[in-house]
Amino acid sequence: MLTDGVSHFVHPDDEMMNFILKRNRPRELYFTSGAQHTKIFVDAIKKINPSFTKKNILEYGCGHGRITRHLNSIFHYSKLTVADVWDEAVNFCGKEFNANTFVVSQENKISSLTEKFDIIISYSVFSHLPPHLFEFTLSELSKILDSNGLFLFTAKGEFHVKKFNLSMENGYHFGRESNKKNETKGRIPDEQYSLMVVTESFVKNLLKKAGLELLYHISSSNLPSKQDLYVVKRA
Ligand SMILES: C[S@@+](CC[C@H](N)C(=O)[O-])C[C@H]1O[C@@H](n2cnc3c(N)ncnc32)[C@H](O)[C@@H]1O
């Protein structure tokens, strides 16, 4: 697998690792899932731009770098910025992976960055945001996406609709099902971070409001991860 040449130091507070500690071979799972998810982004970008190299990349919602640690060996970016609401995680990624850092808060909106990004990726962040934050965050990221840039994010869809037998009447379901194990241990209140499952039309509607356009959407049933992939650009 693609885990050679990446940092093998995992921060003791890494929630992605701590969440899977009771699973079989957690370290192996942590590294292979990180590499696999990163590759999903790269394959999607190369499908649109096969000669893609050396770009200015933002990883939004980096955590302690499960994905971040694989980015350089796969993307060969020219500049990486990591952002999250968790200052400790952002600072860790900044130091460990030599990235610029941005701690997101109500007072420090990501759109206050003056630069534009060629690529923005976000794994398993929108999968947890309530509708108003989902909409707000799309609109914030739209402002810092280059006019020729690509924004790729994952969201929960079909797989979770079936798993929890959700009705999806309004095009989304926001609930506490996946937070039973309390992934963030109260670091983020449930109202701001729980299980968010969405339909493509729900996402499309919010993308439009944010000045973004859907290039394509791959359902989790066609991906090794249990999350859907959305690839978008500025409208
Ligand atoms: C499930 S973790 C995923 C971490 C990393 N992307 C990965 O796949 O390993 C979700 C991350 O999103 C961050 N987060 C939650 N709400 C956020 C928000 N509104 N803006 C930015 N990051 C957020 C959390 O602090 C957490 O680090």
The span from the CA of 98 to the CA of 96, in Å, is 6
Residue 154 lies in a domain: yes
pLDDT digits (tens, 9 = 90+) for 179-218: 555 678 788 998 999 999 999 999 999 999 999 999 999 9
Strand ranges inside the chain, DSSP E: 56-60, 79-84, 100-103, 117-122, 145-155, 172-175, 195-198, 212-218, 228-234
Q: What is the pLDDT of residue 8?
A: 87
Residue 4 lies in a domain: no
The pTM of this model reads 0.95
Place of tokens 């999607």: 44
Interval 127-143 mean pLDDT: 97
Residue 33 lies in a domain: no
Report which ligand 1 atom has the smallest distance to the Cα of 122: 6
Our measurement of the distance from residue 26's CA atom to the centroid of its chain's CA atoms, rounded to an integer in Å, reads 21
* Number of other residues whose CB lies within 10 A of the CB of residue 173: 21
Task: List all residues whose CB is within 6 A of at least one atom of ligand 1.
Answer: 16, 60-63, 66-67, 84-86, 89, 104, 123-125, 129, 133, 137, 188, 193
| 54 contacts: CB under 8 Å, gap ≥ 6 | 76, 77, 78
For ligand 1, atom 18: residue with the closest CA: 85
| Range with top average pLDDT, 1-10, 68-77, 147-156 | 147-156
Helix pair angle (68-75, 26-48), 10° resolution = 40
Residue 121 lies in a domain: yes
Residue 20 lies in a domain: no
The domain tally of the chain equals: 1
Instruction: Please classify residue 193 by burial: count the beta carbons closer than 10 Å to its beta carbon, then call 0-12 exposed, 13-18 middle and 19+ buried.
Output: buried
Question: Which pLDDT band holds residue 224 (cuts at 50, 70, 90)?
Answer: confident
Residue 171 lies in a domain: yes
CA of 118 to the centre of ligand 1 (A): 20
CA of 89 to the centre of ligand 1 (A): 10
Q: Dihedral through CA 123, CA 4, CA 58, CA 106, nearest 10?
A: 60
pLDDT at 76 over 80: no
CA of 120 to the centre of ligand 1 (A): 14
Which two three-digit tokens encode residue 56?
A: 């200015």
CA of 48 to the centre of ligand 1 (A): 26
Residue 170 lies in a domain: yes
For ligand 1, atom 3: residue with the closest CA: 124
The backbone torsions φ and ψ at residue 213, rounded to the nearest 5 degrees and listed phi first, read: -130, 135
CA of 224 to the centre of ligand 1 (A): 20
Supply the range of the domain harboring residue 218: 57-62+78-234
Where residue 125 sits, what CATH number does that domain have?
3.40.50.150
Q: What is the pLDDT of residue 54?
A: 64
Residue 119 lies in a domain: yes
The span from the CA of 171 to the CA of 128, in Å, is 15
